[in-house]
């Protein structure tokens, strides 16, 4: 404990680090305030009644978890950062199949700036469609015996346009805040915004579960057993996906003047889960699209029947969701780790894998191993993601199950470790002791 206290004191001794941390906290507080500012024209009293009676065992409940309750509050930041993530996914996929975007990716800093600008344009388009869907959803929300949360006198094209504009502006604002945190604060801004939103919902999930237990609707013993099993399963999966396969690389001896280089064996660590939780976030943002489209046709019977197959607890949803996670795991791994580049660098440095010829055969060998070890990692990620939907069938509330399973725990742990890793780096650069004596705190970026 004394060691931890000393570390925190060291953090605030470093002026730059102290400024970065306080700056990040200030922007996150602003984001949280924005999640409680309700859109104009909505009856807040009826909104709170509707929120108290809402069913969290659906896709809207899961979305609300990601945006920290802003959706259920009908807030100006109700869309959160998900449209930006969806736009990023589309651009990354385009970069893998469309030559123009491939060219931009190879242009270095200039290409990156153009891609970022295109991502912002895509965010505006996607958030506009989602905002339109949100306005339709809000106009269809009614409190029995009290009326709609959007009064008839307010409804109209002007309210819809103003609400869409505010929601789109809110998404762009939160995107800008995330970029500012990444650039001038500490940690990854986008990840921290999602992180703080999930953490914010935890007390409410506990309170809802406590009320259900005290009212006799839940059995506390069964719930403790189920939650313990969930945590054990997720902990086991996380440990498995942290595993690596090391490939030996031998460097031949080279004599330059009087110095001898090489003659040593090093290892290339290939992780079972190179992609982290990004496949889950990618797949989840895509799975929110059908619910947005369905919200445009609330009175269509055919659409309502189709929508049943995309509800959060349906087998069809879980199956498609799992397949998308497996796909995005391979896709993101291909982006993050290029065997061809590794093979070329090894060849330039005089390194080779014993028994494998340098060049293309080395790249194929690495790619083959990476493909094999990525499969269990992707399957385990899919299991974690769909676990809450099955756990909720045993009586655990959706908000509570979603917090202890799926993406939530992985994001919380991953973002916390990544942020601590950056703080650790600042401390070690200035010769202070970090959170760990070895100074090697492993995190994961999103």
Q: Which domain holds residue 134?
A: 1-203
Task: Please report how many Cα atoms fall inside a 13 Å half-sphere around the Cα of residue 222, on the Cβ side.
Answer: 13
Q: What is the mean pLDDT of residues 397-422?
A: 70
User: Could you tell me if 195 and 244 lie in one domain?
Assistant: no
| pLDDT reported for residue 272 | 76
Residue 446 counted as domain residue: no
Question: What total number of domains does the chain contain?
Answer: 2
DSSP state of 393: G
Residues 99-146 pLDDT 10s = 888 788 777 778 888 888 899 999 999 999 889 888 888 888 777 777
Is residue 178 within 8 Å of residue 28, measured between CB atoms? Answer: no
Whether residue 193 is found in the same domain as residue 228: no
Work out the angle between the directed axes of helices 407-429 and 220-241 (0-180°, nearest 10): 50
438 domain-assigned: no
Quick check: is 35 in a domain? yes
234 and 180 belong to one structural domain: no
Residues 129, 172 share a domain:
yes
Backbone angles phi, psi at 413, to 5 degrees: -70, -45
Shared-domain flag, residues 238 and 273: yes
Residue 412 lies in a domain: no
Q: Are residues 94 and 232 both part of a single domain?
A: no
Q: Are residues 109 and 186 in the same domain?
A: yes
Q: Please, which pLDDT band fits residue 26 given cuts at 50, 70 and 90?
A: very high
Closest CA to 80 of 175, 181, 166: 175
Please report whether residue 417 resides in a domain.
no
- 244 and 158 within one domain: no
Lowest-confidence segment of 32-36, 66-70, 227-231 by average pLDDT: 227-231
Quick one: pLDDT at residue 205?
72
Q: Are 371 and 301 part of one and the same domain?
A: yes
142 forms bridges with which residues in the sheet?
Answer: 148
Which of these three, 203, 238, 262, is where a domain ends? Answer: 203
Interatomic CA distance for residues 334 and 313, integer angstroms: 31
| Predicted local confidence at residue 438, as pLDDT | 46
Q: What is the CATH number of the domain that holds 234?
A: 1.10.3370.10
Contact 189, 178 (CB under 8 A): yes
Whether 202 has a pLDDT exceeding 80, the answer reads no
The alpha carbon torsion through 145, 147, 149, 154 (nearest 10 deg) reads -160
**How would you write 154-216 as a 3-class SS string?**
CCCHHHHHHHHHHHHHHHHHHHHHHHHHHHHCCCCHHHHHHHHHHHHHHHHHHHHHHHHHHCC
Q: Which residue has the higher pLDDT, 95 or 296?
A: 95
Asked whether residue 434 is domain-assigned, the answer is no
Asked, for residue 38, whether it belongs to a domain, the answer is: yes
In a domain, 90, yes or no: yes
Q: Which of 203, 232, 255 is the last residue of a domain?
A: 203
Where a domain ends, among 168, 203, 238? Answer: 203
247 and 353 in a single domain? The answer is yes
The percentage of the chain sitting over the pLDDT mark of 90, rounded to a whole number, equals 7
Answer yes or no: do 56 and 105 share one domain: yes
Query: Can you state the angle between helices 2-11 and 407-429, rounded to 10 degrees?
Result: 70
């Amino acid at each position: 404990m004394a060691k931890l206290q000393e570390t925190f004191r060291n953090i605030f001794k470093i002026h730059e680090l102290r400024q970065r941390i306080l700056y990040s906290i200030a922007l996150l507080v602003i984001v949280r305030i924005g999640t409680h500012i309700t859109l104009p024209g909505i009856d807040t009293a009826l909104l709170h009644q509707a929120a108290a009676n809402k069913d969290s065992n659906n896709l809207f409940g899961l979305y609300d978890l990601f945006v920290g309750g802003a959706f259920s509050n009908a807030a100006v930041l109700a869309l959160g950062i998900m449209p930006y993530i969806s736009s990023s996914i589309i651009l990354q996929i385009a970069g893998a199949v469309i030559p123009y975007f491939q060219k931009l990716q190879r242009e270095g800093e200039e290409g990156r700036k153009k891609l970022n600008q295109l991502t912002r344009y895509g965010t505006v388009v996607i958030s506009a469609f989602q905002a339109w869907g949100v306005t339709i959803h809000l106009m269809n929300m009614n409190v029995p015996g009290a009326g709609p949360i959007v009064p008839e006198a307010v409804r109209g094209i002007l309210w819809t346009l103003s609400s869409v504009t505010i929601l789109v502006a809110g998404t762009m604002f939160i995107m800008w805040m995330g970029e500012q945190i990444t650039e001038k604060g500490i940690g990854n801004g986008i990840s921290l915004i999602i992180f703080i939103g999930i953490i914010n919902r935890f007390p409410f999930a506990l309170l809802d579960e406590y009320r259900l237990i005290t009212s006799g609707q839940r059995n506390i013993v069964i719930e403790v057993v189920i939650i313990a099993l969930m945590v054990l399963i997720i902990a086991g999966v996380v440990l498995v996906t942290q595993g690596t396969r090391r490939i030996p690389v031998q460097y031949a001896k080279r004599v330059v003047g009087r110095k001898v280089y090489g003659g040593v064996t090093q290892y290339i660590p290939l992780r079972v889960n190179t992609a982290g939780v990004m496949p889950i976030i990618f797949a989840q943002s895509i799975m929110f699209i059908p619910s947005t489209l369905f919200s445009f046709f609330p009175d269509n019977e055919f659409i309502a029947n189709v929508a049943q197959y995309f509800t959060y607890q349906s087998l069809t949803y879980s199956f498609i969701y799992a397949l998308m996670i497996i796909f995005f795991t391979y896709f993101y791994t291909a982006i993050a780790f290029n065997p061809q580049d590794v093979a070329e660098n090894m060849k330039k440095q005089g390194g080779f894998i014993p028994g494998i010829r340098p060049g293309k055969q080395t790249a194929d060998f690495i790619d083959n191993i990476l493909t094999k070890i990525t499969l269990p990692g992707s399957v385990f990620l899919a299991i974690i993601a769909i676990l809450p939907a099955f756990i909720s069938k045993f009586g655990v509330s959706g908000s509570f199950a979603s917090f202890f399973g799926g993406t939530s725990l992985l994001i919380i742990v991953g973002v916390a470790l990544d942020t601590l890793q950056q703080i650790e780096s600042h401390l070690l650069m200035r010769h202070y002791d970090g959170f760990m004596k070895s100074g090697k705190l492993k995190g994961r970026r999103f």
